Amino acid sequence: MTHTPEPDEDNDLDLAPAPRPVHYAEQALLGALLLEPARLADTEPLIAQHFYSHTHAALFTAIRVLPPPDPADHAKDTAWLNGVLDHARPHAPGLSASYLHSLIQFCPQPKHAAAYARMIRADNARRVLRGHAERLASTATDPGLPNPAASTLGLADDIGRVLDALSEQFAPHPGSLPRTALPADVPRQADEEDLDEERLLLATATAYPAEVQQMRWLTEADFLLPLHAALWQSITALVHRSDMVDPVTVLGEAQHRGLLTASLTPKDLMALVSTPAGSPEYWGEKIVKRALLARAQTVAARITAYTDDPANTPHQLITGSRRALADLNALRARWNQATAPTPPPAERPPARTTHLPRTTGPPPRAAPLSPRAHR
């Protein structure tokens, strides 16, 4: 196999600083296949897209495409190696004959080709999973999407399918739980508009408690402000006990829960829950959507942390990522309840009030009756 040195020959495969472990696995596998092409059968289901190095992928493609040589002929001449180089070089211009020879010399044991192939597939699984996690995080924070919740959940489904496919390729093993230190939950940034929506929910829920009975899909963990979460608990506690609900009774429940402070007077609290607008479900849906997108960001950060930890095996990545997705799926179930179509009137629960539109902003509704109206 002849070779003329090139002035700018691409030796980046050898000169790259601190190569990843997969770099050596790819070199060893290619060396095994160049030395003993029949070993290609041991690499299934490896494909070129699994390789980290573009040059290595081009070489592997050439090895797969060209008919394997007769072992006796291959031992005597370099005709097949020349064919591999000629086929790969248009896709990796810097590839040289000397590099092919160095791959052959680098391979410790050609009979270990299957093990090298598994290492390459494992590293690819890590990269693929990390890419999906990055897309999940990006989508969950994209303000320009018309339906960010649906797009985010669609990407979460994609991750689930990737994990299913990977679980078929990599057998489970003992100690399959990752030991990676997980990052803290992604902090939820609250602007004034978000907090206003929580305040409007509290006021509207106080005015129309019958609708709160059907809103078990909204929990205190969905709120941005701890005070708002505690007040939601106060309102729902009154509703579920079938107690009277109005700003004064909410004040009493809040007092029992220790919510009154020097900075939150009884007058302040009553004012907070006394200006309803629209429907509780409308505001509740907005709050759950925010929580859903925040949870997706946390899930993406956890999966990324798993993939960034080189100590994790593929099965540990699968197990940890599935646990992370389970947290998002739990919130997804509540989101689906919140956005489920309104049943026909004959199928509605008797205690439910007329369902109000939740897609175009707070719908107008009559003010609640004052206590005097019941006298």
* Block residue for tokens 């009553």: 270
Asked whether the predicted pLDDT for residue 187 surpasses 80, the reply is: no
Q: What is the mean pLDDT of residues 191-201?
A: 95
pLDDT at 375: 35
Asked whether the predicted pLDDT for residue 352 surpasses 70, the reply is: no
pLDDT at 185: 80
pLDDT at 330: 93
17 HSE (CA, 13 A, CB side): 0
Asked whether the predicted pLDDT for residue 353 surpasses 90, the reply is: no
- CB contact at 8 A, 137 and 292: no
Phi first, then psi, for residue 281 (nearest 5°) are -65, -35
Asked whether the predicted pLDDT for residue 17 surpasses 70, the reply is: no
For 260-280, write each residue's pLDDT tens digit: 999 999 999 999 999 999 999
Tell me yes or no: is domain 13-108 CATH 3.40.720: no
Please state whether 242 falls in left (phi above 0), alpha (psi between -120 and 50) or beta: left
Confidence of residue 365 (pLDDT cuts 50, 70, 90): low
More confident residue, 370 or 293: 293
Q: pTM to 2 decimals?
A: 0.82
- CB contact at 8 A, 345 and 354: no
Asked whether the predicted pLDDT for residue 175 surpasses 80, the reply is: no
For 97-152, write each residue's pLDDT tens digit: 999 999 999 999 999 999 999 999 999 999 999 999 999 999 999 999 999 999 99
Superfamily of domain 192-286: DNAb Helicase; Chain A (1.10.860.10)
pLDDT at 354: 41
Asked whether the predicted pLDDT for residue 60 surpasses 90, the reply is: yes
Q: What is the mean pLDDT of residues 198-209?
A: 97
pLDDT at 235: 97
More confident residue, 188 or 216: 216
pLDDT at 200: 97
pLDDT at 41: 95
The domain spans of the chain are: 13-108, 123-186+290-338, 192-286
Same CATH topology for 13-108 and 192-286: the answer is yes
Residue type, 190: A
Asked whether the predicted pLDDT for residue 250 surpasses 90, the reply is: yes
Residue type, 337: Q
Asked whether the predicted pLDDT for residue 192 surpasses 90, the reply is: yes
Asked whether the predicted pLDDT for residue 76 surpasses 70, the reply is: yes
For 19-38, write each residue's pLDDT tens digit: 889 999 999 999 999 999 99
pLDDT at 348: 44
Q: How far apart are CA 28 and CA 104, in angstroms?
A: 8
For 308-351, write each residue's pLDDT tens digit: 999 999 999 999 999 999 999 999 999 999 998 766 544 544 43
Residue type, 114: A
